[in-house]
């Protein structure tokens, strides 16, 4: 039977697919878009076992005050903002939704939630049941489950269900058609681009637009551009309900043991945080030393790693006078931060923030010198082990 589909594993056989297993690097490639192999990633966190590095987590960090870049470490990497930008998506609808949604519904609209019963209840309450069929979130199971649970995939379990429900409601209130609301030619995307251009400049345009995991368009931005967006969220925190909703209902933003929820709850209303795939954390910070709003974005090179991102966030917030607890401890390792994650004038303060607790025992070594019995001539305790001799008992 004949078919027009090209055979699998035939590079260049179809225009929709890359022309090489190694990526499009030849003639016709967009040289403006560096690959992950080209950017200058820097080490952010070092995991060491008794002083020897076992794992080093690379990435990039950007600090922006207002529109002014303060510090960049790891190169001004191009990436997708993904779910970290839900706050900016919703900014296009904050006016029409202000008096329609309650605080729980507002918080779930900017969330990437765990899919618990509380999260699903808040998301489903945004739309009447007769409109649930309009939802185009992918079928999913809860992001975090406890014990042995079996869940049939549902659209409401998807971590973006609150955002999709709020967007659909916003379209109805604006009189926009809701068919195709996830497509880049729908008015939603145009309104979102208007929000971004209000921050980054009227001439700003993304180098690439892609389809996010939840179906909505996501645009490529540098880490510094992402940090500018978060600085604007801090500067304009009283302009709409986004900041207050996240501070009022932090458990709806992410959920149990999620980094963004923990940051919001730890910082007393001075920080809103949002995780984003893959490997992103955005921090919008209200701090007296940065009156035009401080935005800090962390990008982990290899993707989602909440533990490593947690250590970096603790250092960033710690030098600004805010205390974030450590993540659950590592097994037989200790984490060490790299000074470059903060600007040079804050590196002295960073050195005073331990990445382990004083009650956390050092399990990656023995509590005596392991070579104390070595006489330099091949002797030592091993000579007597298991033979009834004078070895260690």
Q: Between 384 and 123, where is the model more confident?
A: 123
In a domain, 156, yes or no: yes
pLDDT at 360: 72
> Domain tally for the chain?
1
pLDDT at 384: 42
Above 70 in pLDDT, residue 117? Answer: yes
In a domain, 26, yes or no: no
Above 70 in pLDDT, residue 6? Answer: no
Q: Between 380 and 209, where is the model more confident?
A: 209
- The model's pTM: 0.89
The mean pLDDT value for 275-286 works out to 96
In a domain, 27, yes or no: no
In a domain, 260, yes or no: yes
pLDDT at 27: 57
Nearest to 228 by CA among 59, 69, 61, 81: 69
In a domain, 380, yes or no: no
Above 70 in pLDDT, residue 28? Answer: no
Per-residue pLDDT tens over the stretch 236-268? 999 999 999 999 999 999 999 899 999 999 999
Domain containing 165 — which CATH number?
Answer: 3.40.710
The boundaries of the domain holding residue 152 are 56-350
pLDDT at 362: 72
In a domain, 35, yes or no: no
Percent of the chain with pLDDT over 70: 86
Above 60 in pLDDT, residue 193? Answer: yes
pLDDT at 31: 74
Mean pLDDT of the chain, nearest integer: 89
In a domain, 389, yes or no: no
Q: How confident is the model at residue 331 (pLDDT cuts 50, 70, 90)?
A: confident
In a domain, 292, yes or no: yes
């Amino acid at each position: 039977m004949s078919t027009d589909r090209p055979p699998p594993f035939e590079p260049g056989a179809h225009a929709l697919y890359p022309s090489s297993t190694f990526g499009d690097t030849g003639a016709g490639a967009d040289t403006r878009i560096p690959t992950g192999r080209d950017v200058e990633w820097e080490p952010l966190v070092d995991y060491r076992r008794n002083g020897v590095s076992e794992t080093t987590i690379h990435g990039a960090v950007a600090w922006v005050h207002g529109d002014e870049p303060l510090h960049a470490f790891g190169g001004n990497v191009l990436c997708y903002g993904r779910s970290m930008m839900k706050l900016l998506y919703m900014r296009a609808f904050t006016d029409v939704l202000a008096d329609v949604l309650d605080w729980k519904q507002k918080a779930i609209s900017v969330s990437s939630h765990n899919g618990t019963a509380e999260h699903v209840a808040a998301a489903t309450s945004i739309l009447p049941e007769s409109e649930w069929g309009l939802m185009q979130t992918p079928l999913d199971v809860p992001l975090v489950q406890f014990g042995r649970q079996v869940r049939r995939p549902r659209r409401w379990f998807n971590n973006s269900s609150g955002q999709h429900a709020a967007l659909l409601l916003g379209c109805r209130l604006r009189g926009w058609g809701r068919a195709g609301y996830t497509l880049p030619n729908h008015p939603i995307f145009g309104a979102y681009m208007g929000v971004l251009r209000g921050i980054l400049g009227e001439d700003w345009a993304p180098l690439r637009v892609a389809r996010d995991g939840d179906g909505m368009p996501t645009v490529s931005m540098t880490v510094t551009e992402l940090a500018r967006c978060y600085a604007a969220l801090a500067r304009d925190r009283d302009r709409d309900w986004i900041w207050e909703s996240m501070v009022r209902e932090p458990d709806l933003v992410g959920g149990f043991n999620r980094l963004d929820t923990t940051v919001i709850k730890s910082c007393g209303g001075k920080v809103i945080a949002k995780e984003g795939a893959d490997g992103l954390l955005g921090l919008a910070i209200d701090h007296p030393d940065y009156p035009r709003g401080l935005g800090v974005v962390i990008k982990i090179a290899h993707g989602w790693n909440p533990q490593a991102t947690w250590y970096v966030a603790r250092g960033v917030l710690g030098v600004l006078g805010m205390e974030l607890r450590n993540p659950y401890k590592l097994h037989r390792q200790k984490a060490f931060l790299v000074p470059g994650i903060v600007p040079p004038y804050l590196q002295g303060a960073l050195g005073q923030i331990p990445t382990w607790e004083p009650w956390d025992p050092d399990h990656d070594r023995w509590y005596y010198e392991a070579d104390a019995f070595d006489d330099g001539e091949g002797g030592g305790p091993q000579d007597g082990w298991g033979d009834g001799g004078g070895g260690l008992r």
